[in-house]
Amino acid sequence: MLVSLISRSSRASTHAIAGEAAVDRWISQKKGITLSETLHTDRIADLYVTLPTRDGTTRPYARPKNSEALDFGHHLAFFHPRTPERHLRPDGTETDFCPPEPFVRRMWAGGQIEWRKPLIIGGKACARANVSSVYKKGFDGVAPMVFVNQRIEIMNEGEEESAVLEDRTHVYRGLGTYQRTAREGRPYTVRLSICQSLMLNPYHPDNL
């Protein structure tokens, strides 16, 4: 058992060292993308039918209207690179902000969104995304990881001030590196509670 663990650890460390040089080259390269979208009412209406607070379940359905403020979080339905499927990674993610192989196992590590002013339904908006920082962890062990911090600035067309400022952090682990295995134990019961909440938009006419 000890011999097996040492052997696996040695292979993982060698794999990580081989990939570290590629990661360092990737970090030194400038990475950014700019996407423009029209915040079309049809796209927002498609989003509404997926939300319990918008689909008419808890209150009468109200179709989005031009010139209204886009609600909090609804910008996530926009600004996606139109990348052909054959160019995506096996897990379906784009490669724009992903480190090179073997670090292809992506996990969400955190993020935050700041709303500074409203985006306008029916108007055009621009999203500028770039990698603000990258740091490596565990490259001297058996579980190396690469943390990628992404900054996204979204602004209405013709404006320089950001309407939405978003930070996303993803962690990438390498294929073939050490993974913890689940230990057997006594079964236990998990109790789940469901809470539905409504996020109000202070810029919406109904809330003024």
Give pTM, 2 decimals.
0.73
Q: Note down pLDDT in tens along the chain; length 208 residues.
A: 444 444 444 454 555 556 788 999 999 998 999 999 999 999 999 999 888 888 788 888 889 999 999 999 999 999 998 889 998 888 788 888 999 988 989 999 999 999 999 999 999 999 999 999 999 999 888 889 999 999 999 999 999 999 999 999 999 998 765 555 555 666 655 554 444 443 444 444 444 4
pLDDT at residue 52, rounded to an integer: 81
Query: What 8-state DSSP symbol labels residue 158?
Result: T
Exposure string of 90-115, with b = 16+ CB inside 10 Å and e = fewer, is: eeeeeeebbbeebbbebeeeeeeeeb
Architecture of domain 2-179: Roll (3.10)
Q: Where are the domains of the chain?
A: 2-179
